Chains A and B, each alone.
Chain A
Amino acid sequence: AQSVTQLGSHVSVSEGALVLLRCNYSSSVPPYLFWYVQYPNQGLQLLLKYTTGATLVKGINGFEAEFKKSETSFHLTKPSAHMSDAAEYFCAVSAGTASKLTFGTGTRLQVTL
């Protein structure tokens, strides 16, 4: 079975500050890991993904995430928050057979002036 835990349902940062959204996963096989972003009243769009190879992956809008197998983590970071980053962020895992994608419960990012 596979699962995802996102720590913190709400995160608030100042504009220009570091963004850190936490994601831990559970999987019995090597996982594919994803971060998606959802802006108000819209569907989800892919920020970045890890499949195999380089453990530090870069995505759109200056976001990046690092796959740490020993910590079963895939935390999302951005060095400097922008007001336009305010949205809900979802971590997800796909772990082999059955090809199902399992989502975390999401983290709402608020960016303040």
Chain B
Amino acid sequence: NAGVTQTPKFQVLKTGQSMTLQCAQDMNHEYMSWYRQDPGMGLRLIHYSVGAGITDQGEVPNGYNVSRSTTEDFPLRLLSAAPSQTSVYFCASSSIAGGYTDTQYFGPGTRLTVL
């Protein structure tokens, strides 16, 4: 049971490049989400999904796309990287109980630098 895995751990991009951050979970969780963490701002929700084929925007969705074709995978795409997207990105998953998000399990994070 690997939990939540993320790849890569580190990435450097040039402005305008695109890339995909990978996230996978093996706990059969319905809910998956992407956060970015910036100093002094806590974790801000980018996109989330409550099941395969269902995604929705969080607080800071601009410049990012997601899809959820399987329960296990939830990739995050940066369409045209900008320096403002330099951050640490966390993927998380959880079960949903009675409409509430239960304990979220986090991946180890991806540290992204955009030059």
Closest to B33 in A: A101
Q: Which of B31, B106, B109 lies in contact with A99, CB distance below 8 A?
A: B31
Count residues on chain A whose CB falls below 8 Å from chain B CBs: 24
A82 at the A/B interface (Cβ < 8 Å)? no
A94 at the A/B interface (Cβ < 8 Å)? yes
Known: A100-B101, A104-B42. A43 touches B106 (CB 8 A): yes
Is there an interface contact between A43 and B99, defined as CB atoms closer than 8 Å? no
Known: A9-B40, A46-B103, A106-B42. A99 touches B50 (CB 8 A): yes
A61 at the A/B interface (Cβ < 8 Å)? no
B74 at the A/B interface (Cβ < 8 Å)? no
Q: Which of A32, A46, A90, A100 lies in contact with B45, CB distance below 8 A?
A: A100
Is there an interface contact between A94 and B45, defined as CB atoms closer than 8 Å? no
Interface residues on B, range: 20 to 34
Is there an interface contact between B43 and A90, defined as CB atoms closer than 8 Å? yes
- Chain B: interface secondary structure? strand
- With A and B bound together, what is the CA distance between A70 and B61 in angstroms? 34
Is there an interface contact between A43 and B103, defined as CB atoms closer than 8 Å? no
Is there an interface contact between B107 and A43, defined as CB atoms closer than 8 Å? yes
A8 at the A/B interface (Cβ < 8 Å)? no
Please give, as numbers and ranges, the residues of chain B lying within 8 Å of A51 by CB-CB distance: 97, 100, 102
Please give, as numbers and ranges, the residues of chain B lying within 8 Å of A97 by CB-CB distance: 99
B96, B106, B108, most chain A CB atoms within 10 A? B106
Closest to A104 in B: B42
Please give, as numbers and ranges, the residues of chain A lying within 8 Å of B42 by CB-CB distance: 90, 103-106
Is there an interface contact between B99 and A44, defined as CB atoms closer than 8 Å? no
A45, A97, A101, A103, most chain B CB atoms within 10 A? A101
A74 at the A/B interface (Cβ < 8 Å)? no
Top 10 closest pairs, chain A to chain B, by CB: A43-B106, A105-B42, A94-B101, A99-B101, A103-B43, A44-B106, A103-B42, A32-B100, A101-B101, A106-B42
Report 6 cross-chain contacts, Cβ distance below 8 Å, ordered by A residue. A44-B106, A99-B50, A100-B33, A100-B45, A101-B92, A103-B44
